[in-house]
Chains A and B, each alone.
Chain A
Amino acid sequence: MIPASFDYERASSLDEALSLLAAGGEDARPLAGGHSLLPLMRLRLARPSLLVDIGGIDELRGVQDDGDSVTIGALTTHHEVAGAAALTGGSGLIAKVAEGIGDPQVRHRGTLGGSVAHADPASDLPAALLALDAEVTLAGPGGTRSVAAADFFVGPFMSAADDGEIVTGVRVPKREGWGSAYQKFQRRAQDWAIVGVAAVVNWTDSGIAGAAIGLTNMGGTPLRAHAVEAALTGTSEKAQILAAVSKVSELETPPADENASSEYRLHLAQVLISRAVAEAAGCPGMQR
C-alpha cells in the first residue's frame, strides 16, 4: 500500500521543528525513525498533512550520565541505547529492553523518543520507563516540561503530550545496586510482546528489599503492578514469590487478541513476573 499524499519539511533545530509543527496545525506530525508512524501511513490508518522530519536535530541525540540518573535524547536509536555504558544498576533495564526491540534494522532506525511518543501499549520501553519511575521531557510552543512516565501514558496510542509538543528525551534514575530483567514473550523474534515484564529488584541478604514491575501489553497503557511489588517486598523464597505474583490479577482485565486470550495473558504475566524477578534478583535458586 502507498500512503496518502502529505507535505514534508526537514527541521535543523528544535525551535524550527516546533514552529513548523505549530504552523502545520493539528494534522502535522513529527517524524523521527519512522518505524511506528510510517507503517500506519502505509496502511492509510494515519494521514498526517505534514511530516516534520526531526531526524537531523543533533541536540536531541545521545546518552548523558548525570550521576544518579541518565538522560537519553529522543533521537537516540534503540541500538545506541542498548550499548550505552551509562545505563548501570537498575537503569540497565533500559539497555536490555532496547536490545530486544524488533530486529536489527528497527533498532538502527527506530528511536527511543519515537517509541515513547507513539505510546503503543505493546511497545517495550514504556513499561521499563514506568518501572524505573522515569520522566519524559517535552518541548512545545510554551517551553519545556517534564512528565512522570506514570502520567505520560494515558491510553492506547495516547500520551500527555499536547499537539505541537515534541518528546525531547527521558531521564532515568540509575538505582545503583538494583538488578533488572525484561521477560518478553512473543511468537516470532521480531514481534511485539504478547506480554512483557520489566522488573527491577533490590535483592539483599534478607531477600527482596524493593521491587518495581512494569507490564507491557497487559492493558490500554503500560501498567505498574503495585500490588505485586508490595507483596514481593520482604520475600526470599520461590513459594512466596509465586504467591505475590498472583496479585497481578487485581489489575484491569488484560486485552484479548489473535495471539492470546485475557485468561492466558494473565497466566503468562504471572509466569513471566516470577521469572523476571528471579532473574533481576540474580538468584538462580529462585528460578524455575
Chain B
Amino acid sequence: MATAEKYVGGGVPRKEDPKLITGQGQFLEGLTLPGMLHAALLRSPHGSARITSVDVSAAAAAEGVVAAYSGADLADEWAAGLPMAWPVTDDIRIPDHWPVAQDVARYVGDAVAVVVATSRNAALDAAELVEVDYDVLDAVVDVEAAVADGAPRVHESFDDNKSYTWALTNGEVDEAFAKADVVVKERYTQPRLIPNAMEPRAVVAQPVPSTGDFTVWSTTQIPHVAKVLFALTLGIPESQIRVIAPSDVGGGFGSKLNVYAEEALCIALARRLGKPVKWVAGRSEGYLATIHGRDQVQEIEIAATSDGDILGYRVHILAAMGAYLQLVAPGVPLLGAFLYCGCYGGEAYHFECTGVFTNTTPTDAYRGAGRPEATYAIERAIDSLAREVGVDPAEIRRRNFLPAGDMVQSPGGLAFDSADYEPALDRALELLDYDGFRSDQAERREGGGSRQIGVGFSSYVEICGLAPSQVLASLKYAAGGWDAATVRMLPTGKAEVVTGSSPHGQGHVTSWSQIAADALGIPYEDVTVLHGDTHVAPHGMNTYGSRSLAVAGVAVHNACDRVVDKARGLAAHLLEVAPEDLEYEAGTFSVKGVPDRTKSMPELAFAAWTAHSLPEDSEPGLEASCVYDPPNFTFPFGTHVAVVEVDTETGAVDLVRYIAVDDCGPVINPVIVDGQVHGGVAQGIAAALYEEATYAEDGTLETSSMVNYLVPSAAEFPSFETDRTVTPSTSNPMGVKGIGEAGTIGSAPAVINAIVDALSHLGVTDVPMPASPERVWRAIQSAQGGEA
C-alpha cells in the first residue's frame, strides 16, 4: 500500500541503532571460521634501525604456533608494495613500503616479523620470542627538523626528506602585498592526531585453496577500492577476491580509508598456509599501526587595506607524511589547498606545500583531511587581521565574505556553489546574544577576577562530495569520484537498495531508505539497503570526504527515478493508456481525469516479476541502476561560535557554550545531521584543547594509550547548540552537500579564538593547540612579562 508520508527531512529513528544499542551489533573480532589461525606482529621499538637479523625459531617452536616469518621470508608474496594512489606531482618520491619491513624499520610500530598460531593469545605470547638484532640509526620525528640540513634521512635512497612540493598561484600575489596597508603573518602548528574509531582495525582472510579464491573481511571504509588494490599488491586476479566490510564497521574517521600492511599480510598468510587468518588490533597497537592525522607547520600571510579588506594570501605548509606514503597521504594537504582563503574574497592567492618524511607512523586522511588545517589557519589569521586594523571579529568576516550566489569564484581558484555566508553568521550571533556577551565580558574584566570569558568565531567553507572524476584527474588522484546504486523492487512490493558507499556509523541505511521510500512511495520499513560486500554491491567508490550523500545518495535518488520511469511504462500498458496520460504521486500512477484507475508500485512490482503482460521491448523485473559522477564538488559552510571561561591563575579552559550554524543544503534526516555535527565538533574541540600525539627524539610514541593521549569524554563538553541555514547545492539534483566533516572543520579555530579573546586584555595573541592549561598559563605569563 503506497503512503503519502514524506520521510525525507524527518527525524525517523535510525535503522542501525536497535542492534547496536542492544548489543547485537557484530564487530569483526567476533567472526570465527573453521580452522582459523591468528596472526600477531612484532613491531620495531626503534624510530629508525637497520634490521641485521631476525630469528623466528623460538617463536616457531612455541606451543600453538603454526608459522613465524620475517619480512625477508615473505618478500616473494608481494607483486607490488603497499599502494599509494595520489602521486600529487610528477617528481614525487615514493618509497617502497612492504607489509613487513625487510631491511630498515622506519618508525616505532613498523612490522618486522609475524607469528601465526591457533589462538590469538598464543600468537601474542610467541611474538615476544622473536629475536631481532637492530643497528639503531638516528631518527627524525619533527617536520622542520626533517627538512633542516644534515637531518637523518628516513629513506637512504632519497637525497633528503622531501617527498614533493606542490604549488598553486592565482592572480598577482606580489602586487597585492605591495599595495597592502597591512600584512599579518602568522605561524601555526597542527598537532599530530590519532584517530579513535570505536572498533579497532581487524581483518580475516579466508582462502579456497582449490580455486585460488579469497574472501577478505576487513574493517574498511573502502571494500571496492581495497579489492582492486589487494589484487595489485598480492598478484591475485581481482575476479578471485571478494571483500566484505561488515555491516557494523565501528567508525573510521578516515583511519579505515586505507590499504594496510595487516590486510595484505593476512591474505598472503592465508595463501601460504591454506587456512583462514585473522588479525585484530589492540588499542595501543592501533596507535602505532593505524594512520595518524594533521602534523603540519603552517605559515600564512594576509595582505589587506587599513579597513581590513583582504587583498591577497600567501601560504607555506610543511606536512608530515610519516615514514611511508599511505594511500592518499600526499593529497591530504591539497584538499585544503584551495581553502586558505576561507569564504573570503581577494585578488591573489599563493599556496605551497612540501610533504616531508619523518620517522613516525604514516599520516593520512583524518576527518576533514586538509580542510580543518586550512580553516584553522585562515580563521585564526583573520582574527589577527581584525586586531591589527581594529575591527570587530564578526564584522571583519562579514566585510570579507564572498558575495552570495551560485558558482562564486574564490581567490583559491574554485567556484563555490550555494554561497550565502551572512545568514549563518547572523543566526550564530543571534543565538549567542553577542551584545549581551560583550557586556558580560566587560563586567568580568572590570571585576578583575581570575575567571575571564571570551568568544571565538569560525566562518568556514569546505569541499565535499569528492567527485568530479575529471577534476580529481587534474589533481593526479588515481581513482574516479563517481558512485553507484541499484534499486530493485521485489515481488512483494518491498525494495532493495544496493549502494556503492560503505557506511561505518553514518546511518546510510536510514538515509537511503528515506530517499527510496519517498521516491517509490512505499513505507520506510519496506526498504532494505545492501552494502559493503563486493559480491552484493559490485560497484562503488565507497565512503570518505563527506561524499556519500552528495554522490552515492544522489545515485540512489536517480536510480529510483529510473525505476519509476520503467514502472510508468508498465502501468500505462496495464491501464491501456499512454504513459504521458499518467500522474505519479507517492507510489501510485493514476490516469489523468480518472483518479480511480490506478496502479501502485507494489502491484507493478508483482506484475513485472510475473511478466505475464509487459509492454513491447520491456524486460521482466523492476529495477534500475545509476552511476553518478557529479559536475562539481559541493561547498558546505557555516559559522561556529565558542564561548570559554579561562581560569587565569591555572590556565584551565572551560568551554561554556558551543554554537554551530551549518549549511549542508536540504537535510535528509535532522537527527543524523545533528549527530554528525556533534561528533565532528567534539573531535575539533578535542584537537583544540586535548589531543596531541607526541614523539620522543628517538621515535618513541609517548602518547601510546588513552591514558596520555587525551580523548575527551562527554564530561568535557557543554550541550552543543545547533541550527542550520538551507542553501541548496547546484552540483546535484537533490541540492545536498554533505555534513560528515563540517563539525571538525569549523570548531578548532573557534575555540582557540575564544581563548585568545578571553585573554586579549592581558596582551595574549596566540595559544598553541592543544591549549593545555600550562600552555594557556605560559601565554599569560609571557604576555604579562612583555608588558612589565
Q: Are A288 and B449 in contact (CB under 8 A)?
A: yes
Q: Are B703 and A189 in contact (CB under 8 A)?
A: no
Asked, given contacts A188-B690, A264-B774, whether A1 binds B282 with beta carbons under 8 Å apart, the answer is: yes
A185 neighbours in B (Cβ, 8 Å): 650, 652, 773
* A260 close to chain B: CB less than 8 A: yes
Q: Are A271 and B650 in contact (CB under 8 A)?
A: yes
* B131 close to chain A: CB less than 8 A: no
**Distance, CA A264 to CA B120, complexed state (A):** 44
A268 neighbours in B (Cβ, 8 Å): 650
**Distance, CA A258 to CA B121, complexed state (A):** 32
A258's contact among B124, B649, B650, B708, by CB below 8 Å, is which?
B708
Q: Are B694 and A188 in contact (CB under 8 A)?
A: no
Asked, given contacts A261-B774, A268-B650, A288-B449, whether A189 binds B694 with beta carbons under 8 Å apart, the answer is: no
B782 to nearest A CB, angstroms?
13
Q: Are B702 and A258 in contact (CB under 8 A)?
A: yes
A39 to nearest B CB, angstroms?
8
A194 to nearest B CB, angstroms?
8
A43 neighbours in B (Cβ, 8 Å): 284, 705
A144 to nearest B CB, angstroms?
35
* A259 close to chain B: CB less than 8 A: yes
With contacts defined as CB atoms under 8 Å apart, how many contacts are there between chain A and chain B in the complex?
56
B774 neighbours in A (Cβ, 8 Å): 259-261, 264
Asked, given contacts A2-B120, A2-B121, whether A189 binds B777 with beta carbons under 8 Å apart, the answer is: no
**Distance, CA A264 to CA B651, complexed state (A):** 10
Asked, given contacts A2-B120, A5-B125, A271-B649, whether A187 binds B772 with beta carbons under 8 Å apart, the answer is: yes
Asked, given contacts A1-B282, A259-B772, whether A189 binds B715 with beta carbons under 8 Å apart, the answer is: yes
Q: Are B773 and A187 in contact (CB under 8 A)?
A: yes
Q: Are A188 and B449 in contact (CB under 8 A)?
A: no
Q: Are B710 and A1 in contact (CB under 8 A)?
A: no
Q: Are A188 and B649 in contact (CB under 8 A)?
A: no
* A253 close to chain B: CB less than 8 A: no
Interface SS of B by simple majority: loop
**Distance, CA A189 to CA B714, complexed state (A):** 9
* B57 close to chain A: CB less than 8 A: no
**Distance, CA A233 to CA B451, complexed state (A):** 29
A222 to nearest B CB, angstroms?
20
A288 neighbours in B (Cβ, 8 Å): 449-450
* B29 close to chain A: CB less than 8 A: no
* B716 close to chain A: CB less than 8 A: yes
* B285 close to chain A: CB less than 8 A: yes
State which residues 682-701 of B face A: CB under 8 Å. 690, 694
A264 to nearest B CB, angstroms?
4
Q: Are B690 and A1 in contact (CB under 8 A)?
A: no
Q: Are B712 and A1 in contact (CB under 8 A)?
A: no
B501 to nearest A CB, angstroms?
34
* B439 close to chain A: CB less than 8 A: no
Asked, given contacts A2-B121, A264-B774, whether A190 binds B715 with beta carbons under 8 Å apart, the answer is: yes
B715 neighbours in A (Cβ, 8 Å): 188-190
B710's contact among A2, A187, A260, by CB below 8 Å, is which?
A187
B450 neighbours in A (Cβ, 8 Å): 288
A187: nearest chain-B partner, CB-CB = B710
State which residues 181-202 of A face B: CB under 8 Å. 185, 187-191, 194
Asked, given contacts A1-B285, A43-B284, A264-B774, whether A188 binds B652 with beta carbons under 8 Å apart, the answer is: no
State which residues 218-272 of A face B: CB under 8 Å. 258-261, 264, 267-268, 271-272
**Distance, CA A264 to CA B773, complexed state (A):** 9
A188 neighbours in B (Cβ, 8 Å): 690, 710, 712-713, 715-716
B770: nearest chain-A partner, CB-CB = A187
Asked, given contacts A187-B710, A187-B773, A188-B690, whether A1 binds B449 with beta carbons under 8 Å apart, the answer is: no
B450: nearest chain-A partner, CB-CB = A288
Asked, given contacts A5-B125, A267-B777, A288-B450, whether A190 binds B690 with beta carbons under 8 Å apart, the answer is: no
**Distance, CA A280 to CA B712, complexed state (A):** 30
B765 to nearest A CB, angstroms?
21
Q: Are B716 and A189 in contact (CB under 8 A)?
A: yes
Q: Are A190 and B713 in contact (CB under 8 A)?
A: yes
A187's contact among B124, B690, B703, by CB below 8 Å, is which?
B690
Q: Are B125 and A4 in contact (CB under 8 A)?
A: yes
Q: Are A2 and B713 in contact (CB under 8 A)?
A: no
A4 neighbours in B (Cβ, 8 Å): 125
A259 neighbours in B (Cβ, 8 Å): 708, 772, 774
Q: Are B124 and A2 in contact (CB under 8 A)?
A: yes
A272 neighbours in B (Cβ, 8 Å): 650
A194 neighbours in B (Cβ, 8 Å): 773
Asked, given contacts A1-B282, A2-B124, A268-B650, whether A258 binds B694 with beta carbons under 8 Å apart, the answer is: yes
B694 neighbours in A (Cβ, 8 Å): 258
B282 neighbours in A (Cβ, 8 Å): 1-2
A139 to nearest B CB, angstroms?
32
**Distance, CA A29 to CA B474, complexed state (A):** 64
A5 neighbours in B (Cβ, 8 Å): 121, 125
B705 neighbours in A (Cβ, 8 Å): 43
**Distance, CA A262 to CA B197, complexed state (A):** 34
**Distance, CA A105 to CA B356, complexed state (A):** 43
Most buried by B among A43, A103, A258: A258
B280 to nearest A CB, angstroms?
10
A271 neighbours in B (Cβ, 8 Å): 649-650
A224 to nearest B CB, angstroms?
23
State which residues 710-753 of B face A: CB under 8 Å. 710, 712-713, 715-716
A102 to nearest B CB, angstroms?
12
**Distance, CA A193 to CA B702, complexed state (A):** 19
B716: nearest chain-A partner, CB-CB = A188
**Distance, CA A4 to CA B694, complexed state (A):** 28
Q: Are A258 and B703 in contact (CB under 8 A)?
A: yes
B354 to nearest A CB, angstroms?
28
Q: Are B690 and A264 in contact (CB under 8 A)?
A: no
A191 neighbours in B (Cβ, 8 Å): 710
**Distance, CA A259 to CA B708, complexed state (A):** 8
Most buried by B among A43, A103, A187: A187
A189 neighbours in B (Cβ, 8 Å): 713, 715-716
**Distance, CA A1 to CA B710, complexed state (A):** 19
Q: Mark B277-301, 1 if CB is under 8 A from A, else 0.
A: 0000011110000000000000000
A253 to nearest B CB, angstroms?
16
Q: Are B284 and A1 in contact (CB under 8 A)?
A: yes
Q: Mark B158-170, 1 if CB is under 8 A from A, else 0.
A: 0000000000000
Most buried by A among B125, B282, B650, B702: B650
B290 to nearest A CB, angstroms?
15
**Distance, CA A268 to CA B776, complexed state (A):** 13
State which residues 162-187 of A face B: CB under 8 Å. 185, 187
**Distance, CA A187 to CA B655, complexed state (A):** 13
A191 to nearest B CB, angstroms?
8
B607 to nearest A CB, angstroms?
58
B690 neighbours in A (Cβ, 8 Å): 187-188
**Distance, CA A261 to CA B651, complexed state (A):** 13
**Distance, CA A259 to CA B650, complexed state (A):** 13
Asked, given contacts A185-B652, A271-B649, whether A264 binds B710 with beta carbons under 8 Å apart, the answer is: no
B652 neighbours in A (Cβ, 8 Å): 185
State which residues 298-356 of B face A: CB under 8 Å. none
A39: nearest chain-B partner, CB-CB = B707
Binding site for B on A (CB under 8 A): 1-2, 4-5, 43, 103, 185, 187-191, 194, 258-261, 264, 267-268, 271-272, 288
22 contacts between A and B (CB under 8 A): A1-B124, A1-B282, A2-B120, A2-B124, A4-B125, A185-B650, A185-B773, A187-B772, A187-B773, A188-B690, A188-B710, A188-B716, A191-B710, A194-B773, A258-B702, A259-B708, A260-B773, A260-B774, A261-B774, A271-B649, A271-B650, A272-B650
- Of all A-B residue pairs in the complex, the 3 with the closest CB atoms, nearest first, are A189-B715, A264-B774, A1-B282
Besides A187-B773, A188-B713, 15 more A-B contacts (Cβ < 8 Å) are A1-B284, A2-B121, A5-B125, A43-B284, A103-B713, A185-B650, A188-B712, A258-B702, A258-B703, A258-B708, A260-B773, A264-B774, A264-B778, A268-B650, A288-B449
